[in-house]
Amino acid sequence: MQAKIRHNNQKDPQASGYGFPIDSRGSFDTTLTALWRLSLGLFLTLILFSCNSEFDQRDPDTIFRYNESGNISSLDPAFARNPQNIWPTNQLFNGLVQLDDSLNIKPDLAKHWTYNDSSLTYTFILRDSVYFHQHDLFGPKRSRTVTAADFVYSFDRLKDDNLAAPGSWVLQQVDHYWASNDSTLSIKLKQAFPPFLGILAMRYCSVVPHEAVAYFGKDFRKNPIGTGPFTFKLWIENTKLVLRRNPLYFEYDEKGQHLPYLEAVAISFLPDKQSEFLEFTQGNLDFISGIDQSYKDALLTPQGSLSPDYAKIAYMLKAPFLNTEYVGFNLEKQGAAIQSKLIRQAVNYGIDRKKMITYLRNGIGFSADKGFIPKGLKGSGSTAIYPYDMSKAKKLVDSFKGLNPGIRPELSLSTNSQYLDLCEYMQTELDKIGITVHIDVLPPSTLRQLKNTGGLELFRASWVADYPDAENYLSLFISQNFTPNGPNYTHFFKPEIDSLYQKALTEQQDSLRWAIYRKMDEQIMDQAPVVPLYYDMAIRFVRKNVEGLGINAQNFLFLKHTKKLIPKN
């Protein structure tokens, strides 16, 4: 059985656009702001109101407005590689399965499925009344139902080298797939891989109609046709994007009301986070995601609560975010300090993570002292592996000095400017226990390149989950995933870990697989190839007239259950 080798360009938050919680981008042209407001006025039918308003009914003709400070490069789900692209494609497309806000696998276009563990085959039974978005391409009826053959086509397209889709890797566990009839799709795996259903929930695995792809070709990226709760209306790139309610959408709420509730979604493209925040406070945006350094102290208390002034107009949603921020040691680099397990453990014990989160992040995040698997995933630790212990850290450093007389341990830590304050905090903390840290600030692209090629001694990095399974994190420590062939940037190698990884892949009982994950995490952290700093937190600030927005550990946006309320007269 072969270990999974992942494409390393899928995961680096700096490369992919992940890492909303603290993000800062450039300035904004005020002319574009004016144009956007003017054009959006043609669509908007509801204006946000004062902080003291009360609401008494739902308005069916409402527009939900949010800003995308990054650039949406494509509305084709095969290119949904970062949150900028994933958020709108979540509104436009569906796959076989979906995740709820608790990361449970739920039916989507497949109403149910079975798995045969002897043949490694999933069999999905599709809903029989799901329609593609209306378009003249479908002839006089302007639509047609989705069949299993459409998924075969969509998967074939995703793997096509000519398309060069960044999501092609999601099918690397698949041996083959076929449609037995219009409503039955089968997928046979190459080997057992329990996280596979979570991968199928990714937007890459959406169904698309062959008629639209054949007609639009490469321009399908800006002429998307799917099955989702909203349909494509208008996209002026870097200016505005408008989606409209899909009247053919198949889902209903628990009361039998047709989803979605909103009439439209309007997306602006202000690249400056301060401008975005101002638009939100003025009621021109319905929510913002994440917290930028420029306004975090005004919006949040040091303990991470919403400040009283802003609590009058908005509420805050928080959830564990599947992102571990960490520092990695390149274990193939020579040097007494980096090769010493004593020093690597001392660094883990010697950082007061709770103080770091309080003073540098206004309480947004969780102390990463329980291992590499983040809070919110099954298999994560329940007790601290490396609680803050300055005395223990100093003893480990003293033991190192006893083995290396006359040597003060020194480390060179590489980062980009966005995380300089965090690295300077580490530098100060470790100096207290007798470790000297030199900080090298690099451009993000240079940092990525050197990390991928093994050119750094010590580096700050992030790991954001593509799919909600702890295997996603433990794959960083598998020997077959050494960079540049995979995401094992530290070049950590331990045969026992490789063996446990393979055992986990064949374990179908979830509780037993999670126990293996915890054991792996504990053994990896005993060798301390990384220093987990904090488990991230997804955070949203929502205007008080919005309900049903929700939040999830992947910080993905789903608007089919979202409602906007109107004020009492």
**Cα 100 from Cα 202, distance rounded (Å):** 12
What are the pLDDT tens digits along the chain (569 aa)? 333 333 333 344 333 333 333 333 333 333 344 444 444 444 433 333 333 344 434 455 599 999 999 889 999 999 999 999 999 999 999 999 999 988 999 999 999 999 999 999 999 999 999 999 999 999 999 999 999 999 999 999 999 999 999 999 999 999 999 999 999 999 999 999 999 999 999 999 999 999 999 999 999 999 999 999 999 999 999 999 999 999 999 999 999 999 999 999 999 999 999 999 999 999 999 999 998 888 888 899 888 899 999 999 999 999 999 999 999 999 999 999 999 999 999 999 999 999 999 999 988 999 999 999 999 899 999 899 999 999 999 999 999 999 999 999 999 999 999 999 999 999 999 999 999 999 999 999 999 999 999 999 999 999 999 899 999 999 999 999 999 889 999 999 999 999 999 999 999 899 999 999 999 999 999 999 999 999 999 999 999 999 999 999 999 999 999 999 876 65
Predicted model pTM:
0.84
- The number of residues in the chain equals 569
Q: For 94-217, give the CATH class.
A: alpha beta
* Intervals of CATH 3.90.76.10 along the chain: 94-217
Query: Structure tokens of 150?
Result: 């459409």
Cβ-contact 463, 521 below 8 angstroms: no
Q: Which residues of 19-31 are buried (b: 16+ CB within 10 A; e: fewer)?
A: bbbbbeeeebeee
**Cα 548 from Cα 565, distance rounded (Å):** 11
Compute the CA torsion angle 14, 17, 23, 27 (nearest 10 deg).
110
Cβ-contact 77, 163 below 8 angstroms: no
* Intervals of CATH 3.10.105.10 along the chain: 320-537
Q: What fold is seen in the domain 320-537?
A: Dipeptide-binding Protein; domain 3 (3.10.105)
Phi, psi (deg, nearest 5) at residue 71 = -100, 125
**Closest residue by Cα to residue 326 from 192, 147, 183, 521:** 521
Q: Which amino acid is at 363?
A: G
- Give the up-direction half-sphere exposure of residue 129: CA atoms within 13 A in the CB hemisphere: 5
